[in-house]
Structure 1
Amino acid sequence: MSGQAATAARVTEAADLTDRVVANLGTVVHAPAETLRLPLLCLLAEGHVLVEDVPGVGKTVLAKALARSLDLSFARMQFTPDLLPADVTGVNVYDQRAGGFRFRPGPVFANVVLVDEINRASPKTQSALLEAMQETQVTVDGVTHRLDRPFLVIATQNPVEYEGTYPLPEAQLDRFAVRMAIGYPPLAEEARMLAEQTTEPPLDHLRPVAGRTEVTAAIEAARHVFVEESVNRYTVALLRHTRDDERLALGASPRSGVALLRLAKARAVAERRDFVLPDDVRAVAPTVLPHRLLLAPEAVSTGLSALQAVHDALDATPVPV
């Protein structure tokens, strides 16, 4: 098989995996397919997800369903003000039989980690996630421990209740590849969900539709998607537009450009392409960029949102043809 044919085969397999997983998630979480596809694309792009939505719309169920669909290990952490960094990363404990210390891994040592209400823990505990999210490793007592791949953090926060919370600083928000919301389901879907959840919850019977090997192969396929120089320059131009926008106190960082292209590559694979189009960049920008921007005070007073600033940048940046 030629190199081009092998690449096409890998892309097809990755796209088939995406279709199967999204269909499987749709049996449990009643949300648009594009919403269900986003955390999977983030996994293929080796990023992390911040879900900001009201309670009870299925954030936890989505994370569990994704891990179960891919047959990956899952861990859940409920962040509270008294949670310590060691509760996240793990701790060295003394083993009397061995006569020495041994490392007891924390819940972060899973493939899919759900962090519930991340803004309720102290900044010190929040920062314990930074090394894991950025480097796929944790360091405890000077010893570095690698995390298993694939590795995806899905963190949630409640946008309507801020009492007793510690807002995430810009540096930590920048670690999340995307910020998304699930939203309320349509009337008919919500009625069907109520019927399901009060009889036999679908999550209890959800079966894997892929395995770790297939996920790893899909990640590799996304990593090697071709990006033409004109698309690279378009991405940079988009980022620079946000930096030159006088309504923004802080524009998009170079790291956001990396996340933007990685998500665009994953989307291209899901669309059965081995190359990125400007449309891929435009499609993922509204979920990748807004949470990385900081509005100027006068812009806040006019009611401008970061999402609107991103749409303005997309409208003003010429698309390569």
Structure 2
Amino acid sequence: MAIHLARQIWTTLEPLHDVVYFGTGVKEAGVAIGLRGYWQTYFAFRAAPLGAVTPATVLATFAGFHPEMVRKALPEAWSRATPEQCLQVRLDLSTTLLRDNGAGDAECARAVELLAPVQATADLTGRPLAAANAALPLPADPVGALWQLSSTLREHRGDGHVAALVTHGLTGRQALIMQVAAGKAAESVMRQARGLSEREWSDAFDELRARGAVEGEPANPALTGSGAALLERVEASTDEAAWNGALAVLSADAVTELTTSLAPLVKRLLDTVVPPLNPTGMVRQ
């Protein structure tokens, strides 16, 4: 089966964006401006385009995190560092990490040339994280500009994915289990990364099992036939929303050029920065 063009672009842009989560020095960069530890840095950096938002906003937009995990980070983070500080530090750090992993000005500038019109014409309806990122000024540095565009389009896809989950009657927690059951992440990584107890994970598993979507055990779930079909519909909706809502302005040749030119950088990031077991759904090929 042919891979949707939107998914091809996602597998290229997601690792670029992910340096802000998995790169060396992320926690230290947050601590340097007053933030407390990795998770406070994560929530503050990712939420910063929205402003000094409440935990409720983050829970609604990020999807799947335990409320107490978010409340441990926010709003305290905003008393330690402003959103503006977080935006500058995350951009500087991500630009450095990409350049340290071989990102060159020429290929990044060309990728920016291809992606800037996508952001400029993207439909941001119902996509708060994408809209907030798109409103940020594009850096003059081509590596930084590519990171920012990658982040906007990554969040655009993510916002659409959350909408697809809601449309298909899945909660954020249930979606995590579906990804594990599909072999795209490990239970040990996904559950801990979202702050869920074994009991909370098990309860969400039981909800899906009652729906006929999964079987097996909570720590090692498997999709049923109907569960696989459900996940396929969610992913297809996500791809279509990402394509029709933004990426369709790219020609097939432009998609090929973008993915091909950035392939060496993406491979380096997957080999050295993005962990093999991660909660983003990024699977090494």
Tell me whether the two structures share a fold, i.e. TM-score over 0.5. no
The one of the two structures with greater contact order (alpha-carbon pairs below 8 A, sep at least 6) is 2
Q: Structure 1 length normalisation: TM-score?
A: 0.28
Which has the larger share of helix? Answer: 2
Q: Structure 2 length normalisation: TM-score?
A: 0.31
Which has the larger share of strand? Answer: 1
